[in-house]
Amino acid sequence: MRKSFPFAGLLLLNTIIFPVHAAGNLSRQEPIEVVVELGSETNPLRFYPQDLIFETGKLYRMILRNPSNVKHYFSSDSFVQSIYTRKVMAYMPDGEIVAEIKGQVREVEVFPGHTADWWFVPIQTGTFKDLKCTVEGHSEAGMVGTITIK
Ligand SMILES: [Cu+2]
């Protein structure tokens, strides 16, 4: 047991020199899941919810579901400039993965009855009021929202 003392001292020294809040690979955390519906069966031209709140440094899996009968975009330039995108995954209605896209993404379009996941880590704070669906006429009809990164 006597041999373990100097080793324990080294571990303590390590903790002081390298603080624990240096969190390592931020894109490999367990993701926080957030569901956003692009329209609904009763109101196809609305985001549910319309206000989204995220925190910097956490990994999110934003599940974009389109239960409506028209295609929709999730588009916000300010949001895209304030996050690190790890990947986007596209699914068939039965849950089968059909595509995994890695690297920067500008906007995501989801077809009726389909789902895509956007995996990202917010890196910059702000309140962005430019969330919209870019399909002609949709933002004018109210398909807009606000994204806050704290
Ligand atoms: Cu739309």
pLDDT 10s digits, 5-27: 555 555 555 555 555 555 688 88
- Reading phi first (left if > 0) and then psi (alpha if -120 to 50, else beta), residue 54 is in beta
What residues make up the domain containing 106?
29-149
**Centroid of ligand 1 to alpha carbon of 71 (angstroms):** 6
Cβ contact 119:85 at 8 Å: yes
Is 118 a domain residue? yes
In the chain, the amino acid numbered 11 is: L
Is 12 a domain residue? no
Is 111 a domain residue? yes
**Centroid of ligand 1 to alpha carbon of 125 (angstroms):** 26
Is 68 a domain residue? yes
Residues 6+ apart with CB under 8 A from 110: 38, 64, 65, 66, 71, 72, 73, 74, 116
In this predicted model, what pLDDT tens digit does every residue of 61-78 receive, in sequence order?
A: 999 999 999 999 999 999
Q: How many domains does the chain have?
A: 1
Could you tell me where the DSSP H helices lie in 25-126? Answer: 77-80
Is 126 a domain residue? yes
CATH of residue 89's domain is 2.60.40.420
Query: Which residues are placed with Cβ below 5 angstroms of ligand 1, an ion?
Result: 72, 133, 135, 138, 143
